[in-house]
Chains A and B, each alone.
Chain A
């Protein structure tokens, strides 16, 4: 177990290193950071001066390890556009994105697990067919278009919900749905398949032979085992949602990390872009590690192995 954990950790570190390397090289290959920093009106001499002052004239590997070293202690440099430390910017924006991701995940799970359970209880019934059809339709719906349609319907025609900003929890309803619904089909199918398999298992028959009440059989004995794979998928999906929040935050003008990313990308604010890509990769890796831990907690068989 210890060897396995260490291997996992080592792999995680390697992945972070690689991602940071790719990000760094790509961004540096595309844009001369000195030019970007100097602005459009700068002369060649100015750019040269900046290049020397910021150390952009050093070899790329040196610059990379320099950058990585400061990144490790939370120093991501300064935003070119806003002239503020990137770390501060991220810390300001992170709560919004995290709450959006959490709401989206909660929405997806609260919708898909009950649907999956109901579908599994009566496979091929009307409910099952409707749920499966919905999941097929949902999977084909472009996220941003769905968001726009919701804005038109709930924001403009019905005027139930605010369409931009992040002041109240109401502002998070539509973005969370738009970000979360895309994950529901996968959750639902996994819950359904898991439940169908578990409900046919011997230990469910044992539970029924003990005279346990149907809710106990269903929730204590069946669901607990059926949702184990859903949990690991949920952790991974949460990582994807943080990455996917770019589109949703842009549409709803939610001032989170995604919106910041889009602003920075469209204005070539390299330090910010680098930091965000690295941050979200890091989140993803931590989340997958977390998923493994959660799995071990839920499934005692893994715990010992």
Chain B
């Protein structure tokens, strides 16, 4: 069936697409990609929220107030005429009277910090291992494959819980543990992408004219794998954020009184039947943040490799 292959040629109107420069084309792809735009906007808002928390938050996220405990959010005033709900604490207060909105705003900071720091640590470990394995192959590859298999066979949540519990839980500890646990995907993907890049003709050419290995890896290989790196990075950042929330929820992650969303969920657990909004709101924040990161990653993948969309 050779014939139908030619029919797709007209679909993209290649003449028009080629008329644009590569940058303009990329810009058009990015702006034309609705879910990518949504991801960028939401993530941007979250980032702004985290960075400017001090200016945005209406209250001190740590200030307790015994007089205003478990105030419901503002819509309780509209729907059920709840006298405790009011504009002072728009999203209500928790069980020790801290303003929920302010804690949620500061919470973005913790999630983003943990996600980003974990991503950097695990990215460094995984990319180094993966690129080395992919570039050198042979024994190096065998060792890295062994390390990846070992890492994959260790249950992440369990090991993270155990380590944090045994060595004492803190923000730094969570970041370190997750950073040292989540590098496997980086290694696997970077290994295969590097292997493909290594066999490209111009890389062979660079080797043939005697370029040094570090030079080839940095100048010839890296540009080829950076797209995949970004995609994996978003996946792992989202993963780290979800894991931190889970650890904190189990009481073995970030410690009180830090306003981590997972910790807020943990603290609200006992109130979940009477004040379900205490559970709902941090969860929605988590969901939005992770969703926006995932959309960003999917979008980057689509935009940089539009032909592989299906």
Contact = CB atoms under 8 A, between A and B. Distances in A.
A contacting B, Cβ–Cβ less than 8 Å: yes
Contact of A247 (B250, B280, B286): B250
| Best-surrounded residue of B167, B242, B272 (most CB of chain A within 10 A) | B242
B146 A15 contact: yes
Interface string A81-95: 000000000000000
A14 B145 CA distance: 12
B291 A145 contact: no
A32 to B, nearest CB: 11
Interface residues of B, number: 46
Contacts of B165: 265-266, 268
A285 B273 contact: no
Contacts of A258: 158
Interface in A4-36: 11, 14-16, 18-19, 22, 26-27, 30-31
A interface SS class = helix
A77 interface: no
Interface in A253-305: 258, 261-262, 265-266, 268, 273, 276-277, 280-281, 284-285
A45 B9 CA distance: 84
A19 B150 contact: yes
A142 B286 contact: yes
A244 B162 contact: no
B interface SS class = helix
A193 interface: yes
B291 A244 contact: no
A131 interface: no
A240 B151 CA distance: 12
Contacts of A243: 155-158
Interface string A207-249: 0000000000000000000000000000000011011101100
Contacts of A151: 272
Contacts of B156: 243
B58 interface: no
Interface string B270-310: 00110010011011001110110011001000000000001
B149 interface: yes
A261 B149 contact: no
B235 to A, nearest CB: 9
A250 interface: yes
A266 B149 contact: no
B252 A140 contact: no
A281 B246 CA distance: 21
A196 B308 CA distance: 13
A280 B154 CA distance: 7
Contacts of A140: 238, 287-288, 290-291, 294
A63 interface: no
Interface of A: 11, 14-16, 18-19, 22, 26-27, 30-31, 123, 136-137, 139-145, 148-149, 151-152, 156, 193, 196, 205, 239-240, 242-244, 246-247, 250, 258, 261-262, 265-266, 268, 273, 276-277, 280-281, 284-285
Interface of B: 1, 35, 146, 149-150, 152-159, 161-163, 165-167, 238, 242, 245-246, 249-252, 262, 265, 269, 272-273, 276, 279-280, 282-283, 286-288, 290-291, 294-295, 298, 310
17 contacts: A26-B163, A136-B35, A139-B290, A140-B287, A140-B291, A142-B286, A144-B245, A145-B283, A148-B269, A148-B283, A149-B283, A246-B155, A250-B250, A262-B250, A265-B158, A277-B154, A277-B162
